[in-house]
Amino acid sequence: MFGTMFGVATSLGLGVLQVNAGLEHIFGLPSTVSVQLVLIAAITGLATISVVLGLDVGIRRLSELNIVLAVTILCFVLVAGPTLFLLRALMQNLGAYLSDVVRLTFRTYAYEPNEWLGSWTLFYWGWWIAWSPFVGMFIARISRGRTIREFVMGVLLVPVLFTFLWMTVFGDTALWMERSGIAPIAQVVTDNMPVALFVLLEALPLSTITSLIATLLIVTFFVTSADSGALVISIIASGGSEEPPVWQRVFRALAAGIVAAVLLVAGGLNSSQTAAIASALPFAIIMVLLCYGLLRALQSERVHPGKRLSTSPYRPAPLPVAGGNWQRRLNRIVRFYGRDEVIAFMDESVKPALEAVTAQLRGQGLEAHVGRTGNSVEILVPHGPHDEFRYRVIMSSYRVPSFAFPEMAPREGKERRHFRAEVYLSDGAQHYEVTGYTRDQIIHDFLAQYERHMQRVQTTMH
């Protein structure tokens, strides 16, 4: 939580310096601490409104606006700048990175000490590490249902390639202007780094419009950082709740703004950099443990090649339908349930079914526990210190598709939502629904999953 807080606060502090530089360059607004504090308050206010509106309404809309603005200004600089030079530079930069990434990663300037390593490399590493819990949890939440391969492609490769394009277009345009004598970018960076972007845009056509777009882009960059950071911190602080209380989201957003303001007053850019590095150091150790935990989790899913149970993904076994009532089953498939219906289903069907299974397991000398917490009911069956079976039914909320029936119409202008009771096992979501099952059907589904788990355990023992 503290790592995320300082990571977001550092971003706010750096972003405000650049926003102030843009407003000074365009409108002559003075670059002072007082103005920067007002800008922090304004950005924090926008972030608070966004996080109160929620993931789908506030954060999502701002993020979409942010992407549109970023692509717009990127394409403009690419076309208005030295296009052919930039395309050549992109290919050369990719090659240079791939050939030097290992050497540069381990380079510590041991034989040529200088301040570059601390003020650039270590600072950015620390800043990114401070962001890692927030970004990791946020992207994991919006990537639910993706495979690991899809996750890696979408989260690692695509953003890295976009970063190459972004750094090449703006960085090499600045280098081209410096070498051509069009604009003294190097001197501007030395004297006042935040204003360098606007000096670059001033040397291109439509500079006033593009400078305004760039300023708005910077604002949306840091508003979306602050609101999503506040949301993730609230999720962590509320024990993993997908919908943390509004007051807590407001408090976390305001806290990030206050921390950014304090760091700005205390020492500006240097204090923000120091805070980012200091907060990232302990989490760097935790990241190593997280990598080990991820490796162990993936290894636990691996089945011995000679004893593989199945090459196809698991699907729930066909459930018996009392009296051959297929109409009831069809109704359950196409129906959209409300929140109160799913809560009643969890209390009246799921919990009693799992309690019956627990009693039977205990009667056979096994340890089993049933728990009802928040929006979930679960049964836990331990099998030694390193293996356990967890069958959890969680109530999840989704937007109602356009073809849904009239009874799901929105009320009082609220977004249409429907709710599902979904099965989660020890290794995560299973992506199927049990809402409307009878108690016997729930028990049948539990037994099918438990049998599959036991077969995996028994066939992977060496």
> Model confidence over 114-142: pLDDT tens digits?
888 877 888 788 878 877 877 787 787 77
Please state, in angstroms and rounded to a whole number, the distance separating the CA atoms of residues 310 and 314: 8
In this prediction, residues 192-196 reach a mean pLDDT of 83
Q: What pLDDT, on the 0 to 100 scale, is given for residue 310?
A: 40
Confidence (pLDDT) at 307: 39
**Is pLDDT of 413 > 80?**
no
**Residue/partner pairs of 82-91 with CB below 8 Å, 24 or more apart:** 82/172, 82/173, 82/176, 85/172, 85/176, 86/168, 86/169, 86/172, 86/173, 89/168, 89/172, 90/164, 90/165, 90/168
Count the alpha carbons within 13 Å of 265 in the hemisphere toward its beta carbon: 10
Reply yes or no on whether the pLDDT at 186 is more than 60.
yes
Higher confidence at residue 204 or residue 16? 204
Has residue 281 got a pLDDT over 60?
yes
Residue 305: is its pLDDT beyond 50?
no
Residue 243 has pLDDT above 70, yes or no: yes
CA dist., res. 230 & res. 59, Å (int): 11
Question: Hey, what long-range contacts does 402-408 have (CB within 8 A, 24 or more apart)?
Answer: 404/336, 405/335, 405/336, 407/336, 408/336, 408/338
CA dist., res. 330 & res. 325, Å (int): 9
pLDDT greater at residue 304 or residue 416: 416
Q: How confident is the model at residue 342 (pLDDT cuts 50, 70, 90)?
A: very high
- pLDDT number for residue 316: 53
pLDDT band, residue 330 (cuts 50/70/90): confident
pLDDT of 322 > 80? The answer is no
pLDDT at 47: 82
The share of the chain scoring above pLDDT 70, in percent, equals: 87
Tell me the pLDDT of the chain averaged across its residues. Answer: 81
pLDDT one-digit tens code per residue, 436-451:
898 999 999 999 999 8
Q: Which of 297-301, 428-432, 443-447 is the most confident on average?
A: 443-447
- Residue bearing tokens 């089945």: 303
Residue 412 in this model has a pLDDT that exceeds 50: no
Query: Please, which pLDDT band fits residue 84 given cuts at 50, 70 and 90?
Result: very high
Burial class (CB in 10 A: 0-12, 13-18, 19+), 228: buried
Confidence band, pLDDT 50/70/90 cuts, at residue 385: low
The answer to whether residues 22 and 211 touch, using CB atoms and an 8 Å cutoff, is: yes
- The structure tokens listed for 187 are 């001197």
Rounded mean pLDDT, 198-210: 90
- The edge-to-edge listing of strands for the beta sheet with 388-399 is 369-373, 376-382, 388-399, 417-425, 428-433
Average pLDDT of span 259-286: 77
pTM above 0.75, yes or no: no
What pLDDT is stored for residue 173 in this prediction?
95
pLDDT above 90: residue 174: yes
Distances (CA, A) of 373 to 14, 241, 346, 370, 404: 41, 11, 11, 10, 30
Quick: pLDDT tens for 30-77. 878 888 888 888 888 888 888 787 766 667 778 888 889 999 999 999
**How much is the pLDDT for 393?**
93
Whether the per-residue pLDDT at 315 is higher than 70: the answer is no
pLDDT recorded at residue 237: 82
Q: What is the pLDDT of residue 229?
A: 79
Neighbouring residues of 235: CB distance < 8 A, sequence distance ≥ 6: 137, 141, 241, 242, 244
- The better pLDDT of the pair 95, 455 is held by 95
